[in-house]
């Protein structure tokens, strides 16, 4: 506004009056009740950005062996241990992308046997969620099974995942046994400590 006032040779208050209905990021934040971050919040955000950069620097690009180990750790935490099928469930698309890459890299799989189910609260866009997960996991929508539509319960959680949670299933007992062999090797190795 000061620049406009100078260019037109008028007061700032006049420019403010003339532009009060023009949406700006600051006005939108104020109307939404969002305030500017204070010094402490700015330092926190700066530290988070620095730690993300540091993490990327320290991890770098995973070697094939490192991806094998990372995928086994991911499955140990988020995968199904029983049932004879490889099953992985999560709301995070980055974890799903990593899992799918790991599964396809280290196991010979029949892509037509991959199935995905979406767990999504009622009232959220199922078609958009299905298209989203299909893209993330690289599984055609025709291979999606019946979704589970949950009734939102405000007393449990106020926020909802707009794309829901995806459950990937690969029904192959042999592959499941191979995955569990990696998980068991990882967990027994980790118990001994480094070296």
pLDDT digits (tens, 9 = 90+) for 57-74: 999 999 999 999 999 999
Same domain? 86 vs 165: yes
Same domain? 43 vs 139: no
Among residues 59, 88, 103, the one where a domain terminates is 59
Among residues 44, 59, 74, the one where a domain terminates is 59
Range of the domain at 41: 2-59
Same domain? 70 vs 36: no
Residue 62 is predicted with a pLDDT of 92
Mean pLDDT computed over 165-180? 96
Same domain? 32 vs 76: no
Same domain? 6 vs 96: no
- Using DSSP bridges, classify how beta strands 86-90 and 114-121 pair: parallel, antiparallel or unpaired: unpaired
Same domain? 23 vs 102: no
Number of domains in the chain: 2
What is the rounded CA–CA span in Å between residue 153 and residue 171? Answer: 32
Q: Kindly tell me if the per-residue pLDDT of 53 is higher than 70.
A: yes
Asked which of 45-54, 145-154, 160-169 is least confident by mean pLDDT, the reply is 145-154
Same domain? 150 vs 91: yes
Same domain? 91 vs 22: no
Same domain? 33 vs 115: no
DSSP state of 163: T
Same domain? 135 vs 79: yes
118: helix, coil or strand?
A: strand
Same domain? 9 vs 90: no
CATH number for the domain spanning 84: value is: 3.30.1330
DSSP string, 86-146: EEEEES-HHHHHHHHHHHHHHS---GGGEEEEEEEETTS-HHHHHHHHHHHHT--GGGB--
pLDDT digits (tens, 9 = 90+) for 6-42: 877 777 777 777 777 777 666 566 666 667 778 888 8
């Amino acid at each position: 506004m000061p620049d406009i006032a100078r260019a037109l040779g008028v007061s700032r208050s006049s420019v403010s009056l003339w532009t009060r209905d023009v949406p700006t990021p600051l006005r939108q934040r104020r109307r939404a009740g969002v305030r500017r971050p204070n010094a402490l919040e700015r330092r926190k955000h700066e530290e988070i950005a620095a730690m993300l950069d540091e993490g990327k620097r320290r991890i770098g690009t995973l070697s094939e062996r490192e991806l094998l180990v990372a995928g086994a750790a991911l499955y140990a935490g988020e995968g199904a241990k029983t049932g004879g099928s490889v099953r992985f469930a999560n709301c995070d698309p980055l974890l799903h992308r990593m899992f799918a890459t790991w599964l396809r890299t280290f196991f010979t799989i029949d892509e037509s046997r991959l199935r995905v189910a979406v767990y999504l609260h009622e009232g959220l866009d199922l078609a958009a969620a299905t298209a989203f997960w299909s893209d993330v996991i690289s599984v055609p929508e025709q291979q999606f099974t019946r979704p589970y539509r949950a009734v939102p319960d405000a007393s449990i959680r106020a926020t909802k995942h707009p794309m829901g949670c995806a459950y990937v299933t690969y029904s192959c007992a042999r592959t499941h046994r191979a995955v569990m062999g990696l998980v068991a090797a990882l967990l027994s190795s980790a118990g001994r400590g480094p070296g």
